[in-house]
A and B are shown apart, each in its own frame.
Chain A
Amino acid sequence: QVQLVQSGAEVQKPGASVKVSCKASGYTFTRYYMHWVRQAPGQGLEWMGIINPSNGNTRYAQKFQGRVTMTRDTSTNTVYMELSSLRSDDTAVYYCARDRLAGDYPLWHFDLWGRGTLVTVSS
């Protein structure tokens, strides 16, 4: 069925990096833009960036520029989000989320979400 399966929870130390994966299935991977959204404990949603799985083009929220890298592997229908120089306030659930429709341009709203990956940053 159509789904996004994310990698498991991570615990990292401050200053380290984390790489979260999101494997898509049940649809044509390269036709839908993919986004990453995070949610700190008890807090709201925060958009981090977007990747075009077709060509790998990315755009990041200004807040994360220089610290986040989004990539994709079309052979496994997987997108990745790597966040570096981790701080305690990066502790959050990280979601991948798919654009609502396939297309050449992103719609920027999301109808399919992964279940989330908890990243805990602690010394």
Chain B
Amino acid sequence: EIVLTQSPGTLSLSPGERATLSCRASQTISTSYLAWYQQKPGQAPRLLIYGASSRATGIPDRFSGSGSGTDFTLTISRLEPEDFAVYYCQRYGSSATFGGGTKVEIK
């Protein structure tokens, strides 16, 4: 089973700064079947990115995904106040596995 490791566990940044979140897989993820979700307290997750780099409907272009193989990155170019949340990566294809999450908090 593929294990996803997200780092850092917590990222402390100020609004306007750039956030770089990492997701590393224990084995190669074929065809870039990698998604990213945002979750705020008390809410369901929201799909941000699928296929490693495609933005989901309605997602602002400050969110971008990149990577392939075993190393994937979610970048938020300039943090808005509403972007402080927990972010999960997910490997998919014949089942679904999530990473442990990265919390982006206000510094």
Contact = CB atoms under 8 A, between A and B. Distances in A.
Contact of B44 (A47, A107, A113): A113
B96 A35 contact: yes
A115 B46 CA distance: 11
A47 B56 contact: no
A100 B47 contact: yes
B92 interface: yes
> A-side binding surface: helix, strand, loop or mixed?
strand
Contact of B100 (A35, A44, A47): A44
Nearest to B35: A109
Classify chain B's interface size.
Answer: 20 to 34
Given A95-B44, A109-B47, A111-B56, A47 B101 contact: no
B98 A45 contact: yes
Classify chain A's interface size.
Answer: 20 to 34
A53 interface: no
Contacts, number: 53
Contacts of A59: 95
A64 to B, nearest CB: 12
A27 interface: no
Given A95-B44, A108-B93, A113-B44, A46 B98 contact: yes
Nearest to B58: A111
Given A47-B98, A100-B56, 18 more contacts: A44-B88, A44-B98, A44-B99, A46-B98, A47-B95, A95-B44, A95-B45, A97-B44, A100-B47, A108-B33, A108-B94, A109-B47, A109-B90, A110-B47, A111-B47, A111-B56, A113-B46, A114-B44
Interface of B: 33, 35, 37, 43-47, 50, 56-57, 88, 90, 92-101
